[in-house]
Amino acid sequence: MPIVNDPIDALISSGDPSADAYLLRAIPQQVRGYRLATAASADELHRYIPGARVLLAWGVPVDILRLATRLEWLQVIGTGVDGLAPAKDLLRNVTVTNIRGVFSRPIAEYVVTYALAHLQRLRRVLSQQRDHAWAPFPPERLEGKTVGIVGLGSVGTEIARLCSALGARVIGMRGTKGPAPHVERVYAMEEIAAFLPQCDVLVLALPATPRTRDFMSLERLAMLKPSAFVVNVGRGSALPAANLVTALDRGLLAGAAVDVFEEEPLPKHSPLWDRENVFVTPHVSGINRPEDIAGPIVENLRRFAAGDPLLNVVDLDRGY
């Protein structure tokens, strides 16, 4: 059990200097017992990580984790932990936690924003404004549409709440059946053939696991109505770019908003950049303010110093 009188060496490396600086200021104001350092470069990580018992980080390379011989707890400053899969053996005796729940609201707002942008014909509005063209057209509304959400964790549940508040009918899909808040009906994975054809807007909020890789195959994309709009805010592996391009070429869906890709940055030669019916965003849906991420991190720092169970422990074998 950690002892407060013996300072706990903790290293902060979020990948964002402003977030690092915020945490370096905020943590001592709210919890005692830690000797803090920040690492903004690979050289600094190499220098400090051998002495760290606690690592607050995002995207730490495996070769650097090999140096973390004293590490007891890794707090991922994010939700996804698929990037740690190659380091599973190195982390067998390390508690890994994430900050799931913090990103739910911004991601839900992203989904609503781009669903409405599609339904309200935002691209057409901008084009007509640019051309000084007064050409009335009938925009669509989210109210009355069916929004299907695959993945009903904290993010999917918040998406369901916002969409239902706007009058959409919300259905969901996840690995286990049972009711979910703001969701009319939850479908099991084996019921996907009944689920997909109902969706006017399909939202993918899936973690990266072997089971979710290539989740939206061409066969499944073909189950959607041609007027469907797809939003991916989970992981790029669930909707490979090649599948999306082919589906759009074949007219299997009306468009998409994609924030996550198998390869990031999205290669400049990808045809998705030039699609008039696709919104490409650079993995920004879950970007949060430093003060938002500090709360759950500080709570876990308190728990670790007291020897209490940590919140949001993840299983690297399961991938979440």
pLDDT tops 50 at residue 249: yes
Please tell me which residue in 283, 299, 302, 303 is annotated as part of the active site: 283
Instruction: Assess whether pLDDT exceeds 50 at residue 200.
Output: yes
Active site residue 140: no
Query: Which pLDDT band, with edges at 50, 70 and 90, does 3 fall under?
Result: very low
pLDDT at 263: 96
Q: CATH code at 155?
A: 3.40.50.720
Closest-CA residue to 56 (of 124, 94, 10, 90)? 10
Mean of pLDDT over the chain: 94
* pLDDT value at 240 more than 80: yes
Evaluate whether residue 83 is within a structural domain: yes
Q: Verify whether residue 235 is a known catalytic residue.
A: yes
Of the residues 174, 182, 220, 235, only one is catalytic, namely 235
* Residues 91 and 145 grouped into a single domain: no
Q: Is residue 3 part of a domain?
A: no
Q: Alpha-carbon dihedral of residues 129, 132, 136, 138, nearest 10 degrees?
A: -20
Tokens describing residue 253: 């869906």
pLDDT, one tens digit per residue, over 8-44 is 999 999 988 999 999 999 999 999 999 999 999 989 9
Asked if residue 317 is part of any domain, the answer here is no
Residue 83: predicted pLDDT: 86
Residue range of the domain that includes 49: 8-102+288-306
Average pLDDT on 133-153 reads: 97
In the chain, the number of structural domains is 2
Asked if the model's pLDDT at residue 2 lies above 60, the reply is no
Q: Are 215 and 226 members of one domain?
A: yes
Assigned domain for 66 exists: yes
Is 283 noted as a catalytic residue in this protein? yes
pLDDT of res. 4:
47
Please tell me whether residues 120 and 248 are part of one structural domain: yes
Q: Does residue 216 share a domain with residue 134?
A: yes
Mean pLDDT of 245-254: 98
CA distance 60 to 79: 14
Stretch 227-235: mean pLDDT = 97
Contact between residue 15 and residue 48 where contact means Cβ atoms under 8 Å apart: no
Choose, from 264, 289, 291, 318, the residue flagged as catalytic: 264
The Cα 74–Cα 311 span in angstroms is 12
Q: Can you give the pLDDT at residue 79?
A: 86
Confidence of residue 288 (pLDDT cuts 50, 70, 90): confident
Same-domain status, 150 and 263:
yes
* Neighbour order of strands in the sheet with 54-57: 34-38, 8-13, 54-57, 73-76, 95-97
Same domain, 97 and 237: no
> Residue 5: pLDDT above 80?
no
